[in-house]
Structure 1
Amino acid sequence: MTTITNSPETLRAAMVDTIKAAGHATSPAVEQAMRTVARHDFVPEATVEDAYSDIAVITKRAGDGSALSCASVPTVVAMMLDQLQVQPGNRILEIGAGTGYNAALLAQLTGPGGSVTTVDIDPEVTAGARRGLDATGNQHVEVITRDGSLGASENAPYDRIIFTVGAWDLTPAFWEQLAPGGRLVVPLRWRAQTQSVAFVRDCDALVSDSMELCGFVPMIGQEGERSGAIDGSGLVTLYWDVDQTIDAAKLGGVLDQERETVWSDVLVGPEEPFDGIWLRMTGRDSRICRVSADRAAVDTDLCKPAIPIRSPALAEENSLAYLAIRKVEQGRFELGAIGHGTHGGNLAAQLCDEIEAWNHDRNARPTVRAYPASTLRPAISFDGDLNHEVIEKVEARLVVSVA
């Protein structure tokens, strides 16, 4: 019996067709690079079918099973390359070497007149990336084993910098090493959600011009996010940033208090995203955080967030409200909020106000400006009279502005 399988070339073509159908690889150069570079050569342990499926291929795990390194989901790779807008001859820095596949794509995009440097803290990862790059004719890509937060000053300045690992903070290296007018694309985490943000350097400010929801393996050593259980069994956890005044201890047992539910009359379809509510709120409310509920918490009706593992919440002293959803008709769902505690009802109503504001322009995105933490406040732009929140990180300061 003969088994017929698709060739790598056929599977790669189908992968790119899937990426295009999802609205990515909009640049002809990005599309051509993804049709040219053989992803299966960088993940030899995976089947060729998995190599060209729209999935992350995990290449290294921690002892607890969590991913330490991977080849990212191809649609996300294409999305971020679109954001990066590489031009022929660009000097490019990549933070997070992974398998070397993304560096090979970058080399294809910048061409023989440019250069690519990729950095990773893990010597096993850089050794694997080096092998993959050498085996595919990309010996000219420089691979450095180093803490990615330091960048690679020896090849600076860079026209383009891209992170293929999640960052909570931005260190001074990226202002020092990015050329004026250069672009930086980074999966940046603030208020417990992660967006792939494309920044353009404008003097000492990095100013966003696009952002897309994403998720990435986090950088090692950036510990600015806090978390704490808010129920006795540890089934429901709150996540917030170090600059917020949230105290999980004050919220202990809040879910056992009477709940107040408020519905917004805003409807979504089963495939319609509503992450823009959370993103918008990061520029309007300093109390925004994330709630995560285990299956047991949902099944026992202790806590039922719209998306159990990650939903926006508002926390104030001993009160909490979080985003909720209910089915109201075939294929339609209503968004709302569930509140607990002394001010739970008010918080739920305020969350619904934000849902309704988002509903007026679902495609609107805030502007994010990033500055070194040492920047004096008078030098920071607050976008006139727009609503804004200043988010203090350890090495950077974000200003999130919302119309």
Structure 2
Amino acid sequence: MNTTAQPSPEVLRNQLIDTIVRERVAGLYDPQVEEAMRTVPRHEFLPAVSIETAYTNEAVTIKDNPAEDALPFSCASKPDVVFFMLVQLQAREGHRIFEIGAGTGVNAAYLRRLVGPTGHVITGDIDSDVTAYARKTLDATGYGDIEVITRDGALGAEEYGPFDRIIATVGVWDPSPAMRNQLTPGGRLVLPLRWRGLTRSVALVREPNRHRSDSVKVCGFLPMIEETEEHSGYIDDDHLTRLFWDYDQPIDPTALRAAITQPATLAWSETTVGPVESFDGVWLRMSATDPATCRITVKQPAVDAGLRRPANPNLGPALVEGDSMAYLTLARLPSEEGAVPRFRLGAAAYGPAGETLAERLCTQITAWGDDRTAEPVISLYPAGTPDDQLTDGYVIEKPSTRMVISY
């Protein structure tokens, strides 16, 4: 008989938060967020999984999507991502907050702890199953005063506003006028912003003529269901290699099918990374400079069949123009036995213009390598804002916003 005592939920929760605080994956910290996450019983919002699973630093699916290669409909986000997004939000006593994406309800509970007895939290989701779940868990855990509404988050919640803070826990491609305008002057909007296939948690402050970022951090979130401006398609008949791009990019994945049957042409930068060093900033710089930037995902059988391995097969940057493509790759450098390995970053190119695309990609690798901690400023202006009223930077046009990325 196994008589070993299992750690209590409180012990497991504190161990998880200890790890998050120690590692600080985004370099952000707020003692009030730490207190909230140590207090709210996350496992009670995830009754379908074990307590041990509830306190691992992993996302937990609460509603699956049966479609091929599709992401789940709803998840409980990774706790370390939840932590730094709450730090970005800077929620304080008395604030009125709208959360877009109700999930399990646990994030709304954290927010309720942060705003205190004089604050107010509204959480919403387009999926009635999700809001019913959140309503049930919030009631069961003593957070019955949190408003839970079923609607498209892009519409906001004007009847409860204006808001000091708005946070989205689903990926947002084009922040709607309601998201931006229902925020008080000087208020903060934190959302997983999507563009050119990547996602970043961006904290934006409302200014008189724009929303300007003061924090841009790596994250991954499910996209909003109603947004359709992001496209995807396979470049092979076996559905092993897939591109993701925006509606304004003239990308036809079928045009690459001949090119990827040929050996890759390789180009290398002088930039190297260690085995655990992030190089996500390369993609961010590409998106701020090159209109051909998109995302590529590659399944292992495609690599086994001869396709050059992308630097990150599950989530990597590429440049695509017509029948040509280049994507980020890496190669291990020779090293002495026992030494920490280093990897050189470069590009794998296909098609007639592949070498030119590879050179462009390597230029951005080098720019990132020269300043690896640089964080861009992202500004969101209403659609139709004249060019002379925009800050300097690279402009990405979206239906309701003009997004400017400046380094």
With structure 1 as the length reference, what TM-score do the two structures score? 0.95
Distance in structure 1 (CA, Å) of the matches to 2:275 and 2:399: 39
Q: How does 1:1-400 map to 2 (within 5 A)?
A: 1=1, 2-23=3-24, 26-64=29-67, 66-328=71-333, 329=335, 330-382=340-392, 388-400=393-405
Distance in structure 2 (CA, Å) of the matches to 1:259 and 1:298: 12
Find the residue that maps to 1:67 and give its secondary structure: coil
Find the residue that maps to 1:228 and give its secondary structure: strand
Once the two structures are superposed, what CA deviation does each residue of 1:204-249 show, in whole Å capped at 9, x if it has no partner? Answer: 3111111111111211110111222223433222221111222324
Once the two structures are superposed, what CA deviation does each residue of 1:145-189 show, in whole Å capped at 9, x if it has no partner? Answer: 111111100111111100011111111101220111110110111
Compute the displacement of 1:63 (Å).
Answer: 2.3
* Greater alpha carbon shift after TM alignment, 43-52 vs 241-250: 241-250
Distance in structure 1 (CA, Å) of the matches to 2:254 and 2:383: 29
Find the residue that maps to 1:342 and give its secondary structure: coil
Alpha-carbon contact 1:231-1:254 (below 8 Å) kept? no
Compute the displacement of 1:372 (Å).
Answer: 2.2
Compute the displacement of 1:346 (Å).
Answer: 1.8
Distance in structure 2 (CA, Å) of the matches to 1:381 and 1:264: 31
Q: What is the total number of aligned residue pairs between the two structures? A: 397
The residue type equivalent to 2:182 in the other structure is Q
* Greater alpha carbon shift after TM alignment, 48-57 vs 253-262: 253-262
Residue in structure 2 matched with residue 385 of structure 1 by the alignment: none
* Greater alpha carbon shift after TM alignment, 98-107 vs 17-26: 17-26
Distance in structure 2 (CA, Å) of the matches to 1:197 and 1:40: 28
The residue type equivalent to 1:364 in the other structure is A
Compute the displacement of 1:270 (Å).
Answer: 0.9
Compute the displacement of 1:77 (Å).
Answer: 0.5
Where in structure 1 are there 5+ consecutive unaligned residues? Answer: 383-387
Alpha-carbon contact 1:265-1:335 (below 8 Å) kept? yes
The residue type equivalent to 2:304 in the other structure is D
Percent identity, please: 50
- Alignment root-mean-square deviation, CA: 1.5
Compute the displacement of 1:45 (Å).
Answer: 1.3
Distance in structure 1 (CA, Å) of the matches to 2:82 and 2:355: 41
Distance in structure 1 (CA, Å) of the matches to 2:161 and 2:176: 15
Once the two structures are superposed, what CA deviation does each residue of 1:70-125 show, in whole Å capped at 9, x if it has no partner? Answer: 21111010010011111111111100011110000001001011110101111111
Compute the displacement of 1:191 (Å).
Answer: 0.3
Distance in structure 1 (CA, Å) of the matches to 2:385 and 2:342: 47
Find the residue that maps to 1:113 and give its secondary structure: coil
Distance in structure 1 (CA, Å) of the matches to 2:250 and 2:16: 45
Distance in structure 2 (CA, Å) of the matches to 1:156 and 1:144: 14
The residue type equivalent to 2:167 in the other structure is I
Alpha-carbon contact 1:57-1:72 (below 8 Å) kept? yes
Find the residue that maps to 2:73 and give its secondary structure: strand
Alpha-carbon contact 1:325-1:333 (below 8 Å) kept? yes
Alpha-carbon contact 2:298-2:314 (below 8 Å) kept? yes
Compute the displacement of 1:258 (Å).
Answer: 4.8
Once the two structures are superposed, what CA deviation does each residue of 1:347-378 show, in whole Å capped at 9, x if it has no partner? Answer: 11221111111011101011111122243333
With structure 2 as the length reference, what TM-score do the two structures score? 0.94
Where in structure 2 are there 5+ consecutive unaligned residues? Answer: none
The residue type equivalent to 2:345 in the other structure is L
